[in-house]
Chain A
Amino acid sequence: MATIEERVRKLVDDNLEVDGQPIGPKLELDTHLGEAGVSSVDFVAFMKVVAQDFGVEMSEGDCVDLVTLRALIEYLEKAGA
Chain B
Amino acid sequence: MPFMRTPAAEPWWSPFRTIGNAEVFHVDLTVNAAREASAYAWMDESEHAKAARYVFPITRRQYTLLRGALRRLLCERLSCDNADLTFETEEYGKPYAVVRGTPAEIQFNMSDSGRHGLIALATHGRIGIDVEERSDKRDLDGLSETVFGVDEQAAMASAVGQVKVERFYRLWTVKEALIKALGTGLRLDVSTFQVPAALLHGDPSAVFRFPHLPAFRWWVEDLGTADFAAAIAHEMAPEAEPAVSPGAPAVRGEQRQA
- B-binding residues in A (CB < 8 A): 18-19, 21, 23, 26-27, 31-32, 35-37, 39-45, 48, 59-61, 63-64
Residues of A within 8 A of B56 (CB): 18-19, 21, 23, 26, 36-37
Main secondary structure of the interface of A (DSSP, over half): helix
Q: Is the CB of B58 within 8 A of A37?
A: yes
Q: Is the CB of A48 within 8 A of B142?
A: yes
- A-binding residues in B (CB < 8 A): 50, 53-56, 58-59, 113-114, 132, 138-139, 142-143, 146-147, 172, 176, 185-191
Minimum Cβ distance to chain B for residue A10 (Å): 17
Q: Is the CB of A36 within 8 A of B55?
A: yes
Q: Is the CB of B59 within 8 A of A40?
A: no
Q: Can you offer 9 A-B residue contacts whose CB atoms are under 8 A?
A: A19-B114, A27-B55, A36-B55, A37-B56, A39-B113, A40-B185, A45-B139, A45-B143, A60-B189
Q: Name the contact of A48 in the complex, choosing from B50, B55, B59, B143 (C-beta under 8 A).
A: B143
Tell whether A31 pairs with B186 under 8 Å between CB atoms, given A41-B132, A45-B142, A48-B143. Answer: no
Q: Is the CB of B54 within 8 A of A44?
A: no
Complexed CA–CA distance, A1 and B254 (Å): 58
Closest 5 A/B residue pairs (Cβ): A37-B59, A36-B55, A60-B189, A64-B186, A26-B55
Number of A-B contacts (CB under 8 A): 67
Q: Is the CB of B186 within 8 A of A44?
A: yes
Q: Is the CB of B59 within 8 A of A18?
A: yes
Residues of B within 8 A of A39 (CB): 113, 132
Complexed CA–CA distance, A60 and B139 (Å): 18
Minimum Cβ distance to chain A for residue B136 (Å): 13
Assuming A21-B56, A35-B54, what are 20 further A-B pairs, CB within 8 angstroms?
Answer: A18-B56, A19-B56, A23-B55, A27-B55, A31-B55, A36-B55, A36-B59, A37-B56, A37-B58, A39-B113, A43-B186, A44-B143, A45-B142, A45-B146, A48-B143, A59-B189, A60-B187, A60-B189, A63-B186, A64-B187
Complexed CA–CA distance, A43 and B190 (Å): 13
Q: Is the CB of B143 within 8 A of A41?
A: yes
Residues of B within 8 A of A60 (CB): 186-191
Complexed CA–CA distance, A60 and B194 (Å): 16
Q: Is the CB of A37 within 8 A of B55?
A: yes
Complexed CA–CA distance, A81 and B138 (Å): 26
Minimum Cβ distance to chain B for residue A66 (Å): 11
